Amino acid sequence: MSKNEGKKFISKEIALNAFKDSFKKLNPKSMAKNPVMFIVEIGFIISLILTVFPDAFGKSGGNLRVYNGIVCFVLFITVLFANFAEAVAEGRGKAQAETLKKTRKDTKAKLLSKNGEITEISASDLKKGDIVLVETGDLIPNDGVVIEGLASVDESAITGESAPVLKEAGGDFSSVTGGTKVQSDWLKVEISASPGESFLDKMISLVEGASRQKSPNEIALSTVLVSLTIIFLIVIVSLLPMAKYSKVDIPMSTLIALLVCLIPTTIGGLLSAIGIAGMDRVTRFNVIAMSGKAVEACGDVDTMILDKTGTITFGNRMAAEFVAVGKHTVEEVTRFAALSSVKDGTPEGRSIVELAKKNNVIIEEKEYKDSEFIEFTAQTRMSGMDISGGVKIRKGATDAIKGFVKEYGGEIPEELDSITERISKLGGTPLVVAVDKHIVGVIYLKDTVKPGLVERFARLREMGIKTVMCTGDNPLTAATIAKEAGVDDFIAECKPEDKIFVIKKEQSQGKIVAMTGDGTNDAPALAQADVGLAMNSGTQSAKEAANMVDLDSDPTKILEVVEIGKQLLITRGALTTFSIANDIAKYFAIIPAIFAVAIPEMNKINIMGLATPTSAVLSALIFNAIIIPLLIPIAMKGVKYKPMKTERMLLKNIMIYGVGGVIVPFVGIKLIDILVSPLLRTLGI
């Protein structure tokens, strides 16, 4: 879960700034972006005019000035609450942006000329393509790609993680981010972003909400809300001549109150806040979404493409078993495997030594200080130790060790191939151990499936999401890992073009596809996918191709991101259902109140037994205003999400937010009526 999940959704500072911004947003230019609330603001202005000039729209009788003033005040509060909801959502993003801005400093950069001379200039003067030198203690001046050197880089200012990350030229860990710090050694970096266009600049812009684009779903819902507003506006305009024909005198403020109660003001006031809060939840999860559309696409995902190594498995193969061959014993294999690994600092080497210790075989490294350790290389595909006295111990790939043994005139045991094949079928990697010309046994290296993935994939299956594992392993190994992890399908011996093919195939069936990646070879597939989650530790091309970047570089995080997307869609749907259901109670409150005097039969539908027509109108209007701030926590935090089938989820939300949306206003309006009716009688309204 998010590191910030336990924190309060709103601090005192954010609340104070949001309160100030609520007044700034009263500007008609700003309000016009939200047509529903803009209508409420116009109603407020008309009510204000009627409060000052009660006869502005015709003669009025009774104590209407006070009544108009109360309606005016409640409408003003309604608009202010809606602005406050949006300002709170924006304020949370601005607070994050301020933290990021502290990271962005105008540092000095060591610019390298073609002849190797170093010139110290301001980082803001760097251009794309410039080459800079960053040494121990230096801040990396801008985004770039390592072209020479190897160094550990502290990325905590951006990711929040204290552990440094190793960066080197070439491969999938050559991308560096401006604002991060070199902890050791040095790097030559080719700048890949112009000033103001760095990854950090984009992050600040995104979390501030300045570049937030409405998603297609949000635009569609906004269109529906505007359409409903226009329809009810026509109804209210038509109601005035009908009332005059029925000899019913309806005050203009009452018609305005009726319009505001009928149009979907609740969801209209919260819609923008829901969208901003959705992106904010993703950001607080240390994932940067390039648009609101990307977050929502997560909620619609049908198929998820996942790499095996690092996502489904730990990627570090661990020793699981020692297998003897021929006349050799397990104890012999264990001892020689441990000797070949005693100076091997790789995760595999350390796991072999650990397994040997569990088998009561302990090798003291100091006893072999005069021995020569042979490191693994891509050319030899084996490592080991040359012990003083001429004994050569090696462990490595089957064919490499076979070649080593044959070189010394040794023979290959008959059962070796069957043992290595059995290990491969189990999803493991066989490492053959040899001493001079004799093969003594095999080490079974197991690529361990991450714990809890079976349950998580089951949850995705409940959501109707298909999981596909991509791996370069042979079909036997791939099938074993896929079965153990619980994925729905797999692609063995997968090449970059295979990923694009499967994404296009799923998309051709109308499905939304998500995938993760970190390498340059993943960039085309990340760009093709509807949701592409790139690792921050990955290459620049991968990050540019994706529409989401994980600052923690955790490939499994896409599982949680999908749930956040689902939560965003559910939250919007739930609050829309609640808002529309609210209107039913408002009809029963206001309609009888308007016509009860001229048409006594209308009292039959006054099922709430509201005291007077005036208190009924004001009670409904007050409830309409106060329900918005009461729903702000739900809009910010999101509706609690549990994986389940779409039909069941829909039924659950209708029962909670549909039925609840009908019952709550009946209770709320009645309680408000009990409180305000004595006051209204005192005022003579």
Compute the residue count for the chain.
685
Angle at alpha carbon of residue 361, lines to 355 and 367, rounded to 5°: 115
Give the other-Cβ count within 10 Å of 74's Cβ. 21
Position 633: which residue type? P
**Catalytic residue (one of 201, 307, 473, 530):** 307
Residue 467 in marked binding region: no
User: Measured between alpha carbons, how far is residue 212 from residues 294, 392, 534, 571 in Å?
Assistant: 11, 63, 20, 19
**Which residues have C-beta within 8 Å of that of residue 238, sequence separation ≥ 6?**
none
Note if 307 is an active site residue: yes
- C-alpha span between 270 and 293 (Å, rounded): 18
Pairing of the two strands 372-374 and 466-470: unpaired
- C-alpha span between 534 and 177 (Å, rounded): 14
- C-alpha span between 404 and 396 (Å, rounded): 10
- C-alpha span between 159 and 162 (Å, rounded): 8
Residue 655 in marked binding region: no
Q: Of the candidates 342, 207, 216, which has an alpha carbon nearest to the alpha carbon of residue 288?
A: 207
Residue 302 in marked binding region: no
Backbone angles phi, psi at 258, to 5 degrees: -60, -45
User: Measured between alpha carbons, how far is residue 606 from residues 141, 342, 429, 681 in Å?
Assistant: 70, 86, 77, 19
- C-alpha span between 545 and 55 (Å, rounded): 63
Backbone angles phi, psi at 388, to 5 degrees: -55, 130
Pairing of the two strands 144-154 and 131-135: unpaired
User: Measured between alpha carbons, how far is residue 115 from residues 110, 111, 131, 134 in Å?
Assistant: 14, 11, 12, 17
Residue 567 in marked binding region: no
Backbone angles phi, psi at 173, to 5 degrees: -125, 40
User: Measured between alpha carbons, how far is residue 383 from residues 345, 355, 401, 557 in Å?
Assistant: 11, 18, 10, 35
Residue 382 in marked binding region: yes
Residue 381 in marked binding region: yes
Residue 369 in marked binding region: no
Residue 380 in marked binding region: yes
Buried b (16+ CB within 10 A) or exposed e, 373-398: bbebeeebebbbbeeeeeebbbbbbb
Angle at alpha carbon of residue 209, lines to 633 and 260, rounded to 5°: 55
Residue 135 in marked binding region: no
- C-alpha span between 304 and 516 (Å, rounded): 9
Residue 377 in marked binding region: yes
Residue 368 gets which letter from DSSP?
G
Residue 383 in marked binding region: yes
Which residues does the annotation place in the binding site for Mg(2+)? 518, 522
Which residues does the annotation place in the binding site? 344, 348, 376-383, 395, 518, 522
Catalytic residues: 307
Which residues does the annotation place in the binding site for ATP? 344, 348, 376-383, 395
